Structure 1
Amino acid sequence: MAGQGLAGLGVSLTSILTLMAQPQADSDAAEHDYKVEPNAFSYFLVAFMDLLLCLVGYFCLNRVRFFRYHANANAEEIANYVKEASAAPDAEEASTRAGLESPLLEPAGSPRWSLLRMPTLPRTPRGGVLSLAQQMSNAQQYRLAVLLIFFGTLSMFPGITSLIASTTKSSNRFFNDLFVPFSFVVFNATDSIGRIGSGWAGSKAPTGRTMLTAACVRLACMPIFLFCNVVPSSSGDSWSIPVLFESDVFPIMFNAIMGLSNGYLGSLCMMHAPSFVHPSQRQDEGTKMALSLISGCTLGCIATLVVSVILKD
C-alpha cells in the first residue's frame, strides 16, 4: 500500500516539475498547443529514465551476495516443498488405510480423544474469542469499509478536484496552471504519509464497526469539494452549486485531509481484515478485500461522471 502512494507522489511531482520547466502558455490556442509538446516530451522522458534505472537496478541486484543468498535459499525451500508434495499421495493413502482400520468410536479417556475435539476459534488481537457470526460480521464490515473509503476518494479525486480553480486573481503561475498539479501533489503526499503511518499504529486491530463508522463519516464529508470554486472544463458550462469556500486554502486543506484519511484508513483495512477470519481463510479474505477495493474505485469513477453531468448547467 505504501508503494502505491509513493508511486502516485512520484507521478504528481514529475508532472508539476515538467510543467514548471516550461514557460507559461499564452491565451493564444496555437501558442498553447505548441508549448504542450515539450512538456509532454519531458514528462515521458522522465518516465523512460525511471524505467531504465529500474532495469539497471535489477541487474545490479543480482550481483549482490546478500540477494543471491536469500534467492537461492528460497529456491531450496520451493524444491523441498515440491519434493514433499510429490510424496503426499503415499502419506494420504496410508492415512486413509489407517482411518478405515480404526474403530468408529473411541473412549473418552483415550489419547486420540483430545485430537478428535473441535479446534478452538481463532483469537482476535483484543484477546477475546469471537463466534463465527462475529467473525463474518467483522470481515464483512471491513470489506464494506474499504469499498466506501475508495468510493469516496475516487468520486471526488481527480474528476472533481481537477476542476477546482484558484479564486486569486494574479499573474503568478501558482494561481493559474500550477494550482491543480499542486493539489495533486498535496493529495499524493498526504496519502503516502497516511499509508506509511498506518504501519506505526500498532498491531491492535480496530473492530469492523469502528472502521465502518469512520468510512461512513468520511464519505459524508466528501461533497464539501462541490462547494469550492469548481470550473467545468467546457467553456459553455457552469457549476450549479454556489461557491461557499472562496479561499484557495480550503481546497488544498480538503485535499490534504482526504489524502491522509484515504491512506491511513485504507491501509488499516487491508492490513487487519484477514486477522478476523480463520488462518486457513486469510488468503481468500485478502482476495475479497482486493475485490472490494477495486469495486470502490470503479463505483467512484462512475459517481464522478454522474455528479459532473448533473451539476453542470
Structure 2
Amino acid sequence: MLSQKVPVDRGQATAIIVFILGLGTLLPWNFFVTASLYFNNRLNVTLNGTQTGHTDYSFNSWMAFLSMLPLLLFTLLNSFLYQLVQERVRVAFSMVAILLLFSLTAALVQVPDADMGPDTFFAVTMATIWFINMFSAVLQGSLFGMVGLLPSRFNTLFMSGQGLAGIFAALAMLCSVLSNAEGGADALGYFITPCVAMGAILFCYTLLPHLEFARYYLNRDEPNVQLIEKMPIESQDKPIVKISKDPEVQVLQGYQLPEKHNQKRLSVFAVFKKIWLMAACVTCTFAVTLAVFPVITVKVKTVYRDYARWDKVFTCVCCFIVFNSMDLVGRSIPSLVKWPSKESRLFPVAVLSRVLFIPLLMMCNIPNSRLGGIFANDFAFVIIMALFAFSNGYLASLCMAYAPRLVRSGDCETAGALMTFFLALGLSLGASISFFLA
C-alpha cells in the first residue's frame, strides 16, 4: 500500500517564484510606458540637437496600440496551440527573446541622433515594441495557464507580481531622472535594469521544477495529483489504495472516486461558455484602464510649475508610482477578501462603473483641453488616480482568480489561456479608444 501527503511549500519558495514570474510578464510593457518622456524627447530632436516641434508621432497612442495588438493576436494563438509546444520551451524562449530586445533598446540609447533621425528611431522602436509584446503574450498566456494549476492563492500572488512590475519600472525611472546623469547614461542605466531583471526571472523559472510542492500540482498527467488536490484537507494524509482495474488509478482510502475523473479535456469553446462572464469583465476592466492610462494621465501637469524639481518628477510620481502602487494593493486584497462573489450581480456592475474614471481623469489639469482644469489640483489628481488604479487591480485580480474555479482542474490551463486572451482584448480595445481621447 502506498502513502502520499500534500507537500509543504517550504520557505514559501513556490509562492515567491510565482510572484517574481508575475513581475516578469508585465516588465516589458511597464518599462516602455514609463519611459515615454525619454522617447518623446528623442523623437523631437533634429540632427543638430535642436527641437523640431514634431507633434504627429502620437508616440504614446502608437506605443499602446502596437503593444496590445500583438498581445491580443499571440495570446489568441497561444490559447489554441499551447499543446503543440511544451510550456518550458515557450516560457524560456520568450524570456530570452525579451532580454535580447531590451538589450537592443539599451544599445540604441548610445546611437547619436546624427546617425539615426527621428523617423528611423520611431520605426525601430515601434518594431521593438511589437516583437517584445509578441513574446510577452506567449509568456503571459503560458504562465497564467501554469498558475491556474496551482491553488487559488497563487493567482493572487501572480497578479500582485504583475502590479509590482509597474512600481519597479517607475522607481527605476525616478532614480534615472534624479541622477542628473549626462550623455544618455541615465537612459542607458534605465534600460539595462530590465535586462538584468529578466535574467534573474529566467533563473527563478528554471528552479520551479525542482521544488516538490510545484511538481505536485504542475504534473497534470498523474491521476493521484488530480484526485488528491480536490479532496478535503483532513483526508489528504490517508493512504492511497487501488480501486480500479487501471493499475495507474489510485485514490485515497475513504474517498469516493469521481465518476468522470478520466474525462478528456473540454474544447476551448466549451471552457469559454463556463467563464464568459469573467472574460467579459476582465475585458471591460482593462479597456477602461488603457483608454486613459497612460495617454491621458501623462498629460496632466502640476499646478506648481514654479517648482522645477517637483515639475520634473510630477508625472513619474503622481502618475506612474501612484497608479502602480495602488494597482498592486488592489491585486493583493483578494488574498484577504473576495467581494463581490463570482455569482453576485454586483460584480459586473462594479466593473462597468469604472467608465466614470474616463471623464474624471480628463477633467484634471491638462493644458489646452476642453475638460481639463475642472480638478486643477495635484491632490485631486492623486486621489482619482489612486481609486482608478485600485479598482483596476482589485477587479482584474478577482476575474483571473474566479475563472479557473469555474472549470475542472484539467481545464484550468485552457481557462487561464482564454482569460489572458480576453485580458489582452481589453488592453487592445482601450489602446484603440485612446486614439480618440488623446
- After TM superposition, the structure 1 = structure 2 runs for residues 191-270 of structure 1, keeping only pairs within 5 Å, are 191-202=327-338, 205-207=341-343, 209-231=345-367, 238-270=368-400
Cα RMSD (Å) of the superposition? 3.7
Distance in 1, Cα, partners of 2:400 & 2:428: 18
The share of aligned pairs that are identical, in percent, is: 25
- After TM superposition, the structure 1 = structure 2 runs for residues 47-196 of structure 1, keeping only pairs within 5 Å, are 47-51=194-198, 53-54=200-201, 68=210, 70=212, 139-174=275-310, 176-182=311-317, 183-196=319-332
Q: Could you report, residue by residue, the CA deviation over 1:242-272 in whole angstroms, capped at 9, with x for unpaired residues?
A: 4100111111111111111111110001101
Q: Could you report, residue by residue, the CA deviation over 1:24-60 in whole angstroms, capped at 9, with x for unpaired residues?
A: xxxxxxxxxxx4712212212333443455577679x
Shift of residue 211, structure 1, vs aligned partner: 1.7
Shift of residue 273, structure 1, vs aligned partner: 2.1
Shift of residue 229, structure 1, vs aligned partner: 1.3
Contact 1:166 1:179 in 2 (8 A): yes
Distance in 1, Cα, partners of 2:199 & 2:408: 43
- 1:124 maps to what in 2? none
Q: Could you report, residue by residue, the CA deviation over 1:132-187 in whole angstroms, capped at 9, with x for unpaired residues?
A: xxx9887322221111100111111111101111112322412x120001120110
Contact 1:159 1:304 in 2 (8 A): yes
Closer/same/farther in 2, CA of residues 242 and 80 from structure 1, 3 Å limit: closer
- 2:164 maps to what in 1? 6
- 1:46 maps to what in 2? 193
Distance in 2, Cα, partners of 1:203 & 1:219: 20
Larger radius of gyration: 1
- After TM superposition, the structure 1 = structure 2 runs for residues 268-279 of structure 1, keeping only pairs within 5 Å, are 268-277=398-407
Question: TM-score of the superposition, structure 2-length normalised?
Answer: 0.47
- 1:104 maps to what in 2? none
Contact 2:338 2:398 in 1 (8 A): no
Q: Residue 424 of structure 2 aligns to a residue in which SS?
A: helix
Distance in 1, Cα, partners of 2:210 & 2:260: 44
Contact 1:138 1:207 in 2 (8 A): no
Q: Could you report, residue by residue, the CA deviation over 1:95-127 in whole angstroms, capped at 9, with x for unpaired residues?
A: xxxxxxxxxxxxxxxxxxxx9x999xxxxxxxx
Shift of residue 208, structure 1, vs aligned partner: 5.4
Structure 2: unaligned runs, 5 residues or longer: 1-158, 224-244, 247-256, 262-270
Contact 2:403 2:415 in 1 (8 A): yes
Distance in 1, Cα, partners of 2:340 & 2:302: 42
Contact 1:12 1:181 in 2 (8 A): yes
